[in-house]
Structure 1
């Protein structure tokens, strides 16, 4: 397996109040050059619905503007890893990102992790370093379609509003 490195910097500014972390960008996201870039990933639709906003156009610039206007920071737990395709269960030799710059420069009130693997990796690699607990959010990945069809999926995402 080839070692991959995270291709982008985090999206945040001094007004960002929550930090949402995935595990590592999928091949489709890397191809589309931005977070949650797979056309079937419902991250953008979910966040827009929860915030009663229009879903941003699928360009990095519009999505970045949407996040910053919503006071949401986005990055991923991992700086690098070995992974097969988009399969989080195949992740080996993970190295975590350093979140200290975000915590120092932004007004982060709460950290959220999306998906089980991202949550496990954060708990194992990041929490012992920064002491900041993360709250789990169900994955917006196409691999999680069964749960996404249930009302509790959106209900779980509703919690982000209280920190914005």
Structure 2
């Protein structure tokens, strides 16, 4: 049976003066969403990690009802800090009906050249999981090493040098305490002079 091709439902979020492009893999099925934005699954800790990293408050980006995320607050924050967000996959086969990267088959990766043309001040990429790291890495020269978690390598892309950071997954399936993940992200934002 031919699996359907799922196309990414969100436009890349590319604020002006973007210096850092954060890249996940692909959103979960829509039934898991708590907002129409990146990392919409309430079980995903990305916005808690950023709340801890920047404000020492894991619930900083929760809505007033505490059962969803505050999309407007998140977008305003990302715009202020110059952080763009998108995913490394444009089209996928979802091998199982869940959010797990293990069951995503990338059909078409993102058009990185097109995205970078819209954020000319971008200096670095940060992938937020193994599938995102592998997919982004596949767009670079074959000699580009995969960074260790929490570290970066320099990559040449379109005659420009970028830092390529590999960050811990914000998924709760990735077994590392939230505070530890936030500490690693805080280091990235400090190095990028965003924090």
| TM-score past 0.5 threshold | yes
Q: Which runs of 5+ in 1 are unaligned?
A: none
d(CA) in 1 for partners of 2:46, 2:117:
26
Q: Secondary structure at the match of 2:17?
A: coil
Q: Deviations over 1:134-154 (max 9, x none)?
A: 21100111212x213563x23
Instruction: Tell whether the 8 Å contact from 1:18 to 1:109 is kept in structure 2 after alignment.
Output: yes
- Which structure has the bigger radius of gyration? 2
Matches within 5 A, 1:4-43: 4-28=6-30, 32-43=35-46
- Aligned with 2:75 (options 64, 72, 75): 64
Q: Which residue of 2 aligns with 1:134?
A: 164
Q: How many residues align?
A: 161
- Would you say 1:155 and 2:183 are equivalent positions? yes
- Would you say 1:120 and 2:122 are equivalent positions? no
Q: Which runs of 5+ in 2 are unaligned?
A: 64-68, 143-155
Q: Which residue of 1 aligns with 2:124?
A: 110
TM-score, structure 1 normalization? 0.85
More helix by share: 1
| Residue 93 of structure 1, CA deviation | 4.3
Q: How large is the RMSD of aligned CA atoms in angstroms?
A: 2.4
* 4+ residue segments displaced more than 6 Å: none
d(CA) in 2 for partners of 1:61, 1:104:
25
Q: Which residue of 1 aligns with 2:93?
A: 82
